[in-house]
Structure 1
Amino acid sequence: MSDNAKEIKPTDWHSPEMNARIKRRYRKEKWFRGLGFTAVILAAMFLVTLIGKIAGDGLYGFVQTSIDLDIPFEESVLGNPRELSKAEFEENVRRANMLRIIDASLRDHFPDVKSRRDRRDLLRMVSTGARGQIRDMVLADPSLVGTTQRVSLLASDDIDQLRKGRIDASEPEANRKVKDKELAWYQKLEEEGRVSLNFHTVFLTSGDSRDPELAGIWGATVGSALTLLVTLLIAFPIGVLAAIYLEEFAPKNRLTDLIEVNINNLAAVPSIVFGLLGLAVFLGVMHLPRSAPLVGGLTLALMTLPTIIIASRASIKAVPPSIRDAARGLGASPMQVVFHHVVPLAMPGILTGTIIGMAQALGETAPLLMIGMVAFIVDIPGSVTDAATALPVQIFLWADSPERAFVEKTSAAILVLLTFLIAMNGLAIWLRQKFERHW
């Protein structure tokens, strides 16, 4: 050993220096674990706060205030079903002024209200949808004509907010939408047990409306279902076949490398870019109907394709090469190897990726806004070419509405959308666990 060489001493693991170093290392690990645990707790708190706020507002969107009134089904207004044919009676009922019937009921209940302005304010306590309620009752049961029945009519959005505690009755009159005289009328009805809070079926069975108490999500739900149907029919076969070709048949050269890079890049492109593409191609060039599920589905299919292709390729690649070799050894052709052996084994992962891509498409708003699905649509769409909107767009429209009652509708629609998203992701997890094979 040369004189310049240093003698290597054995490490003394019990020396004070080594003990101090080990303590510092353990201290850093504790700090890191503490920071990670704190981050998880903060994320959970933010999530619980967000979900709690949405649920707190949204649960009120599923209930609506009703006012029980003694409705006189006057023959002078509705006509006599015994003297008219069925068609004539139904036409007469549809044209009848139901406000006269509601006004007559309120006049009997509030005989002190005399002025025209006060009677108009009294009528505004009842929703405009109450006229449709009475009309539907008479059409369903003509024998009601000539009788007086207690009917639960939808209250206006202001009275509904008062019943739910969103309007503070203790505030000065100038600071609330319900004035003192309306508050007195409401309190009288409440003392008589004529005000109730009931499950609001209209919210789940009707389309959009300018009146919060009449607005529903069924039109947007059907629009989303039709849009996703078009997306699935286009994106799934094209995505899976593209993945099979790239993974099993495509030669490995610069062209396929370029295609693979672009597919990976497309998966990270902002969704609004696909909306611009759909606007330019499907509306500007192909002149397809605006605000239709057909155009929405085509646009979302473009956005979903990269996700399906990437997930399908990963699933196909995960199939062991021994499966292919065994099939070839038994004389199977390349097509038989792929479609009889590889694709069935990769199908759980393919379906999982497809469902996740569809769930992503369900929650997208920006592409649909670009192709005009932001229109105010009242009717329920019957086909993929009818004008429609989607759940995320409906939420966007309601969130922009000035009425306080639309806050509850927005939160309730978010809960419905989250339910669909959770169900779709749960289905993906179930499919993977049920059909996945471990090699």
Structure 2
Amino acid sequence: MTDLTQAQVRERIEQNLAGRHRKEKLFRGLGIASIAFGVFAVLLLFTDIISKGSGAFVQTAVQLEVTYDPAVLGIEEVNEESLTWANFTGVIRQSLRERFPGVSGRSEKRELYSLVSTGAPFTLRDRLQANPALLGQTEKVWFAADDDVDTFLKSLDDSAEGFRGRTSDEMAAWVQTLWDSGELKKRFNTTFFTNGDSREPEQAGIRAALVGSLLTLLVTLALSFPIGVAAAIYLEEYAPKNRWTDLIEVNINNLAAVPSIVFGLLGLAIFINFFELPRSAPLVGGLVLTLMTLPTIIISSRAALKSVPPSIREAAMGMGASRMQVVLHHVLPLAMPGMLTGAIIGMAQALGETAPLLMIGMVAFIVDVPAGITDPATVLPVQIFLWADSPERAFVERTSAAIMVLLSFLIVMNTSAVLLRKKLERRW
């Protein structure tokens, strides 16, 4: 074998180092490119959702001068029974005809009447019910515009020229007239946060879905957290280490990876078909989500218990504390931050679930806000699913707006979990 000189050895080492440096730079570049692609995809997703959903927080309103004519309303006095049968639609149509007296013909009038939302009569009913002295009087009232008018106006830059969609020339001219006179304006859409679901986009809101999500999460938290923590304490502090406990641990880990729709099928078979609990209720939804989030809470709680140093247990035992006192007074308080973090993450996961709730009937059309855990309800992800399947153009922006609200809650919950962990955790 030929002996290499010192210069040749140095040259080979430098060549090997240069190759290693190139590979390291390539690996680092691939990592940076992957992160950049992920950030770009997230920014693209958020930009698309925000651009489509921001319009749902603004609603077009039409101002009309209405006369509470008893002859048109068909009532003589204001009471609950008369308001039920009063012809508020006729009052609104009369106001529209007076505003545009040149409109004639059945088809033109039908199109004129579609300027305002079909929920406008309920606005008049509420105003007259709140102030019976308005009977026989005239006042100017703002009504929500129809979804086609709202979409048409939002597609323009403060003018009624450009995009038409399903809007006819006559409708565009009426919109322009109302806009120029100040009788048409855009304002914050409080209906989106105060109403339940509706077939009409301009009347649809997320309040019922938000309350349903809250009640469902309350049931889930009330059941999953104490059961999950108790199971984790038993497995980590009391259970003997044998093949049965090993089997239980393996199954818990496997349940964390089971598709969520399987839990929906389980809830349908047990809670609804066997126990005959009410379908589409937060109680059943909470029970199903409890089964789904239990593995996550158990695993995170066990990890939190393992992080407590054995010296804490030994010191408490040395002071004469019982096994239960050691766990309740020393180990559990120190592990609680990690347990709470796991519970918040589990609740965030439950908040975004749709598939298991579809299986138990929470896909129902819910207008009224649920008052309890046994009332019919839906949740925000299911509401998004329903709106995404609606053919009306105006539901596109409401779907995106509901996604924005859901993402806001998820971001807040996950951020709270991180901050809570950082604030309460102890380093040993």
Which of the five TM-score ranges fits, normalised by the shorter chain? over 0.9
Aligned partner (choices 114, 132, 137) of residue 122 of structure 2: 132
1:342 to 331, 338, 342: 331
User: How many angstroms apart in 1 are the aligned matches of 2:111 and 2:270?
Assistant: 51
Secondary structure of 1:225's match?
helix
C-alpha RMSD of the superposition: 1.9
Separation in 1, partners of 2:130, 2:6: 95
Which position in structure 2 is the counterpart of 1:192? Answer: 181
Moved more, 391-400 or 109-118: 109-118
What CA distance in whole angstroms lies between the structure 2 residues aligned with 1:435 and 1:424?
Answer: 16
Aligned twin of 1:158: 148
CA contact (8 A) 2:58 2:187 kept: yes
Q: Which residue of 2 aligns with 1:411?
A: 400
Q: Is residue 34 of structure 1 aligned with residue 29 of structure 2?
A: yes
Offset, 1:106: 0.8
Q: What is the distance in 2 between the residues matched to 1:144 and 1:338?
A: 69
For 2:5 and 2:362, how far apart are their aligned partners in 1? 75
Q: Name the counterpart of 1:3.
A: none
Q: Which residue of 1 aligns with 2:136?
A: 146
Q: CA deviation at 1:89?
A: 2.4
1:59-93 alpha-carbon deviations (Å, 9 max, x no partner) = 1111111111111122334578xx84xxx523322
Q: Which amino acid aligns with 2:139?
A: Q
1:319 aligns with 2:314: no
Distance (whole Å) between structure 2 residues aligned to residue 7 and residue 23 of structure 1: 25
The reply to whether residue 425 of structure 1 matches residue 414 of structure 2 is yes
**Deviating more after overlay: 254-263 vs 185-194:** 185-194
Task: Tell me the equivalent position of 1:68.
Answer: 63
Of all paired residues, the percent bearing the same amino acid is 58
SS at match of 2:143: strand
Amino acid in structure 2 at the alignment position of 1:71: V
Partner of 1:179: 168
* Worse-matched range after superposition: 25-34 or 291-300: 25-34
Instruction: State the Cα distance separating 1:147 from its structure 2 match.
Output: 2.2
In the TM superposition, residue 31 of structure 1 has moved relative to its aligned partner by 1.3
Q: CA deviation at 1:166?
A: 7.5
Number of residues paired by the alignment? Answer: 426
- Once the two structures are superposed, what CA deviation does each residue of 1:192-245 show, in whole Å capped at 9, x if it has no partner? 121111111111011000000000000000111111111111111110000000
- What secondary structure is seen at the aligned counterpart in 1 of 2:79? helix
Aligned to 1:47: 42
State the shift of 1:430 in Å: 2.1
**After alignment, is 15-24 or 258-267 more displaced?**
15-24
- Aligned equivalents of 1:95, 1:56: Cα separation in 2: 42
Q: Measure, in 1, the Cα distance between the counterparts of 2:134 and 2:155.
A: 35
Instruction: Give yes or no for contact 1:78–1:92 (8 Å, CA) kept in 2.
Output: no
> How high is the TM-score relative to the length of structure 2?
0.96
Structure 1's unaligned 5+ residue stretches are 1-5
The 5 Å alignment of 1:221-370 reads 221-370=210-359
> Aligned pair in 2 of structure 1 residues 136, 13: CA closer, same or farther (>3 Å)?
farther
Kept in 1: contact 2:73–2:91 (CA 8 A): no
Name the SS of the counterpart of 2:416 in structure 1: helix
**Do the aligned partners of 1:71 and 1:102 also contact (CA within 8 Å) in 2?**
yes
Q: Say yes or no: does 1:393 pair with 2:388.
A: no
CA drift of 1:40 comes to: 1.2
Contact 1:352 1:429 in 2 (8 A): yes
AA at the equivalent of 1:406: F
Do the aligned partners of 1:204 and 1:216 also contact (CA within 8 Å) in 2? yes
Note the alpha carbon deviations across 1:373-431, whole angstroms, 9 max, x for none.
01111111111111110000000000000001001110110111111111111221222
Which letter maps to 2:313? Answer: R
CA distance in 2, matches of 1:144, 1:276: 55
Give the aligned residue type for 2:280.
S
Q: What amino acid maps onto 1:357 in structure 2? A: G
Counterpart code for 2:374: T
The verdict on how the C-alpha distance between 1:314 and 1:139 changes in structure 2, with shifts beyond 3 A counting, is same
- Provide the TM-score with structure 1 as the length reference: 0.93
Deviates more, 1:244-253 or 1:279-288: 279-288
Return the alpha-carbon distance in structure 2 between the equivalents of residues 377 and 24 of structure 1.
65
Q: Deviations over 1:80-128 (max 9, x none)?
A: 8xx84xxx52332232111111111111110101212211110011101
Match of 2:20 in 1: 25
Distance in 1 (alpha carbons) for counterparts of 2:8 and 2:230:
61
SS in 2 for 1:67: strand
Paired residue type of 1:433: K
Answer whether contact 1:13 1:19 (CA < 8 A) is retained. no
